[in-house]
A and B are shown apart, each in its own frame.
Chain A
C-alpha cells in the first residue's frame, strides 16, 4: 500500500481527507503510483501530470524521504520506504505570492524549490 499526500485543493477535488492509499501492481514508481491514483480518483486526471504527455505539471513537485524526486525518471523505483508504506509520497504545490497583472501566479513564484504551504 502506497501512501500519498495530496495538496489541499486536490484533496478537496478528490473528496478525501488526509493521506490517500493506493495499491500498485508491480514495482512502485512515480508512473505506477500516479496510474493507480488516477484510476482510483479519475477527477485527478490532468491535475498532477498532463493527460497526453504525462509530464509533471510545472508548479508541482514530488518529495519522498526528505528528497526532491521530481526529476527522477517516472519509471525509476520509488524509495523502499515509500514502496513499503512507511514513508509518504508527497505531491506539493509550488509556493507562490502575488499574481501577474492579468492571469496566473507565474510571475511571482517565490522559489524554484516547491514547498508545502
Chain B
C-alpha cells in the first residue's frame, strides 16, 4: 500500500513522519541530530531511501548527513564547501563591499535521476554539487562569478541560495533563486548563468525593475509543465509562462501578497498554494488567522483554506522551504510553522489536521510519496 514520508527540519533537530495513503495516523521519529539546526532534508527521487540533510550550528559549522535507509540511520559525509578560486566581494547591508563567506547550506536538491548526485544551495550565495553521494563538493562557480555578483546584497536572513529547481524535460536546465539577488537560469548544467527577473518590480531597491537585486523568496514548478514557474517574491506572487524569461503578477485578491512558500498541486498544474503573511516588518499571519490560499486558475483568483486551521490568536510564520505536496490522489499538502506545528491536508487543502503541534520552530518540510 502506498504511503508518505514527511521530512521536517527544525531549529533543534529533524523529525520524520510516516503514514499510509490515508494520511490520518502518523508515526513520528526524532529529534534526529537534536540541538542542531536542520535547514533542509530531502530524499532522492531516483532512490527514495536515500536522504540528505543539512545540519548546522553557529558553534560547530556545517555537517551533511546521508541516510540510505529512509532515515533510520545516518552517516556524516563531506562538509567542505570551499569556494572555487578568488571569492571577491558582494555588497553588505550598508552598501560596502563584503567578502564572500560560507555560512551554511540552506537547501539540498538531489538529482532527478542519480541518487549520488545532489546540489547544495549555500549562504553566502553559491551552488555546489556532489556526484559521490555527498562525500565531496564542487562549486559551480559560474553563478557566483556572474558579472552582477559584486552588486548582490543579502536579505534579512542572509545572502542565501534557497531554491534549486531541476527541469525534468531539459536535463541541463537549472533554476535557482537568491535572497536578495533574484532568480537565475542555467542551460548548460550550471556552467553559465543569467538573471531571469524581467517583470519583477521591487520598490525596496533603487531601480525597482533592475536586472538583479530582487528578494525572491521561493519558486515552484510542476513536473509536467516545467516552462511555467510560480514565484513568491518578498512582496508579490508572480508567474512565468516562458521558463522565467518574463514574469507577471498574479497576486489578485490575496489579502496580502507578502509571504515565503509557494507550491503546486501534484495533479493540477494550475492549482497553487501560498500562505500570506501580514508584512515584511511583522512576519506573522494577518488577523491572527492561519489561512492557506489556493488558486485553481494559476493565480489572480484565490480562496482561503481554513478548515482545521486556527482562526484566532495565531501569529506564526511559514518559512520558504516549509511547504510540500505529495503525489497521491487526492494530492496531499503539508506545511510547518515557526510555532512548531506541522499540518497535513489529504484532500488538496480542503481540510487540514495537525500531524504534530509542539516541535521546535519548523524551517523546512519535504514529503516523499512511497509505493
Contacts and interface: CB of A to CB of B under 8 A. Distances in A.
Interface in A50-101: 50-52, 57, 59-60, 93-94
Contacts of B61: 46-47, 50, 57
A13 interface: yes
B57 A102 contact: no
A31 interface: no
Interface in B148-182: 156-158
**Main SS at interface, chain B:** loop
23 contacts: A9-B36, A9-B57, A10-B60, A13-B60, A13-B63, A43-B63, A43-B75, A45-B80, A46-B79, A47-B61, A47-B63, A48-B60, A50-B61, A51-B79, A51-B82, A52-B80, A59-B59, A60-B60, A102-B156, A102-B157, A103-B157, A103-B158, A104-B58
B356 interface: no
Given A13-B63, A42-B76, A43-B75, 8 more contacts: A9-B36, A9-B59, A9-B60, A46-B79, A51-B80, A52-B80, A105-B58, A105-B59
B62 interface: yes
Contacts of A45: 79-80
Contact of A7 (B34, B59, B80, B156): B59
Q: Which 5 pairs across A and B sit closest by C-beta, in order of nearness?
A: A43-B76, A47-B60, A104-B58, A59-B59, A93-B59
Nearest to A101: B156
A40 to B, nearest CB: 14
Interface of A: 7, 9-10, 12-13, 42-43, 45-48, 50-52, 57, 59-60, 93-94, 102-106
B35 interface: yes
Interface of B: 34-36, 57-63, 75-76, 79-80, 82, 156-158
A46 B62 contact: yes
Contacts of A104: 58
A67 B157 CA distance: 37
Nearest to B35: A9
A89 to B, nearest CB: 17
A104 B156 CA distance: 13
B124 to A, nearest CB: 13
A35 to B, nearest CB: 15
B36 A59 contact: no
A13 B59 contact: no
Contacts of A102: 156-157
B110 to A, nearest CB: 21
A116 B38 CA distance: 24
A42 B156 CA distance: 34
A47 B80 CA distance: 10
Nearest to B77: A43
A60 B61 CA distance: 11
Contacts of A59: 58-59
Q: A10, A43, A93: which has the most chain B beta carbons within 10 Å?
A: A43
A60 B80 contact: no
A17 B336 CA distance: 34
Contacts of B35: 9
B86 to A, nearest CB: 13
A42 B158 CA distance: 29
A46 B59 contact: no
A38 B19 CA distance: 40
Nearest to B39: A103
B58 A106 contact: yes
Nearest to B83: A52
A75 to B, nearest CB: 23
A116 to B, nearest CB: 12
Contacts of A13: 60, 63, 76
Nearest to A104: B58
Nearest to B62: A46
A46 B157 contact: no
A102 B35 CA distance: 16
A4 to B, nearest CB: 15
Contacts of B158: 103
